[in-house]
Amino acid sequence: MSAALELVTRVRGVRGAMLVSADDGLVVAEQLMEGIKGGAVAALAASLAGRLRRAMEAGGVGASVFWHLQAEKGALLVVPGTTAGGILVVAVAEPDVNIGLVRLELLRAAEMVA
């Protein structure tokens, strides 16, 4: 699991990565910079992921493959795992991070932990 997280954290501008249980929002594994409250972020990311998944499925666009919360000073990027009720691969990044590259590494990490 740490190898999967390293795929993500080695991208320049990524402040940390986590594997989160989609069902209960608990941290499964993490590599975070100091100061990031992993447990709380995991819980909120899982809750957001659940709401998004239900809304997207109801709207007919299917389950989410990748989502990205943009904010003034950075971003939260998430790839929900391929298995039902599985693992979310989460990255916290600086505002100027290469989003496309982080997305690719998150997808690769999700494949590794599936």
Partner 1 sequence: MADDIRTLSAQLAQDPHSLVFLRLGEALRRKGQLDAALRVAINGLERHPHLADAHDLYARVLTDKHDYEKAFDEWDMAVRIAPNHTGALKGLAFLYFKVGDVAQAEAHLDLAQRIEPEDPSITQAIAMVRGGVAPPPPAPAAPAPQEPAPAAPAASQALDESRVCAGLEGANEGLLLIDAAGRVLGGALRNPAGADVTDTVAAYLAGVSQEAARTAKLLGLGAWSGLSAEGHHGNVHLAHPTPEALLLVVRDRGVPLGRLAILALRATAMARRWLERET
Judged by the rule CB under 8 A, the positions of this chain that interact with partner 1 are 35-37, 40-41, 44-45, 47-48, 51-52, 54-56, 58-76, 92
Structure tokens at 74: 């950075």
Q: Which of 51, 83, 52, 47 is nearest to 67 (CA)?
A: 52
Nearer to partner 1, 3 or 71 (CB): 71
Q: Which amino acid is at 32?
A: L
Min separation Cβ 3 and partner 1, Å: 24
Min separation Cβ 69 and partner 1, Å: 5
